[in-house]
């Protein structure tokens, strides 16, 4: 089976800017090397959050955190996802066609 072509919805410059800008990162379970185990502190955190218990080895929980910085080079600016705009246009034209069909019926 051949892998589909990956489409980029933004430019390389926009993606680099997004990575540098201050933003939140969700907490998630991550895989560790097989012989490593999560610390007691991480186990308590997971228990306190009401998440499923960590296995004895090879998994831990990465806390939510903030990545990037707010400095003059990363001040807020609009980023236009061209693919998303195209998709929204297609959906809008489908909706318009359905409304017209319902009105004609």
25-34 pLDDT, tens digit per residue, is 888 899 999 8
Average pLDDT over residues 39-45: 90
* pLDDT score for 31: 92
43-90 pLDDT, tens digit per residue, is 998 999 898 888 888 899 888 888 777 776 656 556 566 666 677 777
pLDDT at 4 over 60: no
Q: How many CB atoms lie within 10 A of CB 74?
A: 16
* pLDDT score for 5: 57
pLDDT at 14 over 80: no
* pLDDT score for 77: 59
* pLDDT score for 55: 87
Q: Could you give the dihedral angle defined by the CA atoms of residues 69, 72, 75 and 79, in that order, rounded to the nearest 10 degrees?
A: -100
Between residues 88 and 105, the one the model is more confident about? 88
């Amino acid at each position: 089976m051949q892998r589909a072509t990956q489409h980029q919805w933004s430019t390389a410059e926009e993606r680099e800017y997004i990575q540098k800008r201050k933003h939140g990162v969700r907490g998630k379970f991550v895989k560790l090397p097989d012989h490593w185990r999560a610390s007691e502190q991480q186990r308590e955190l997971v228990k306190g959050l009401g998440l499923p218990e960590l296995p004895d080895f090879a998994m831990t929980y990465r806390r939510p955190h903030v990545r990037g910085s707010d400095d003059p080079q990363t001040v807020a600016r609009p980023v236009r996802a061209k693919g998303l705009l195209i998709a929204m246009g297609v959906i809008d034209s489908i909706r318009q066609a359905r409304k017209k069909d319902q009105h004609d019926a």
